């Protein structure tokens, strides 16, 4: 079971779980489970050499999670405001993927803004000027190419639903 097989399955049915109806896939899953037998693939190697997490590392992860939460919520609200119908979820998914890529490669100026945003959020202030600007910052964080890909994801989802409707109409 590889990325290509999953992509084809999704294109065919729009539901990745349908792939479990394929006997070859089920045999592969059973084989992998029996090979690893413990908690899951890859976990035994980690469990033999766990690394302790320092308070600074834990704090950094919590800040990153909080930042992503705020940014992704505002991204979803931006996309939902366009009313893309059945394409909304696909657009949000593509947008989230692209935002995560951008958050991993911020300029110094962007990093300073996002650090200050998380600091502002943790202070529980009534007035949050940085938070008020977040939607516009999210909009600017994504390039025209990113926005086009997000729109294309919505278009593809709509087209897939339309194709399914046509197929089902022919058999009804």
Domain coverage including residue 134: 55-171
For residue 68, what pLDDT is reported? 94
Same domain, 43 and 127: no
For residue 16, what pLDDT is reported? 65
35-70 per-position pLDDT tens digit = 665 555 555 555 666 677 788 888 998 999 999 999
Between residues 132 and 23, which one has the greater pLDDT? 132
Over residues 136-152, mean pLDDT: 97
For residue 63, what pLDDT is reported? 94
Same domain, 93 and 139: yes
73-130 per-position pLDDT tens digit = 999 999 999 999 999 999 999 999 999 999 999 999 999 999 999 999 999 888 999 9
Between residues 1 and 150, which one has the greater pLDDT? 150
For residue 46, what pLDDT is reported? 57
Confidence of residue 171 (pLDDT cuts 50, 70, 90): confident
Query: Residue 104 is encoded by which pair of tokens?
Result: 């991993």
Same domain, 76 and 42: no
For residue 76, what pLDDT is reported? 97
Same domain, 116 and 97: yes
Same domain, 8 and 73: no
Same domain, 29 and 66: no
Same domain, 28 and 73: no
Write the secondary structure of the chain as one string of H (helix), E (strand) and C (coil).
CCHHHHHHHHHHHCCHHHHHHCHHHHHHHHHHHHHHCCCCCCHHHHHCCCCCCCHHHHHHHHHHHHHHHHHHHHHHHHHHCCCCHHHHHHHHHHHHHHHHHHHCCCCHHHHHHHHHHHHHHHCCCCCCHHHHCHHHHHHHHCCHHHHHHHHHHHHHHHHHHHHHHHHHHHHC
Same domain, 138 and 122: yes
For residue 142, what pLDDT is reported? 97
């Amino acid at each position: 079971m590889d990325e290509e097989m999953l992509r084809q399955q999704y294109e065919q049915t729009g539901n990745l779980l349908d792939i479990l109806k394929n006997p070859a896939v089920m045999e592969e899953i059973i084989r992998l489970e029996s090979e690893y037998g413990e908690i899951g693939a890859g976990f035994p190697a980690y469990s033999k050499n766990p690394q302790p997490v320092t308070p600074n590392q834990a704090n950094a992860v919590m800040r990153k999670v909080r930042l992503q939460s705020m940014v992704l919520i505002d991204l979803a609200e931006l996309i939902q405001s366009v009313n893309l119908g059945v394409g909304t979820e696909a657009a949000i998914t593509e947008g989230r993927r692209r935002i995560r890529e951008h958050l991993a490669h911020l300029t110094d100026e962007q990093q300073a803004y996002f650090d200050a945003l998380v600091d502002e959020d943790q202070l529980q202030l009534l007035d949050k000027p940085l938070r008020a600007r977040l939607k516009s910052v999210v909009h600017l964080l994504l390039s025209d190419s990113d926005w086009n890909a997000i729109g294309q994801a919505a278009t593809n989802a709509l087209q897939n639903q339309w194709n399914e409707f046509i197929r089902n109409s022919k058999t009804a």
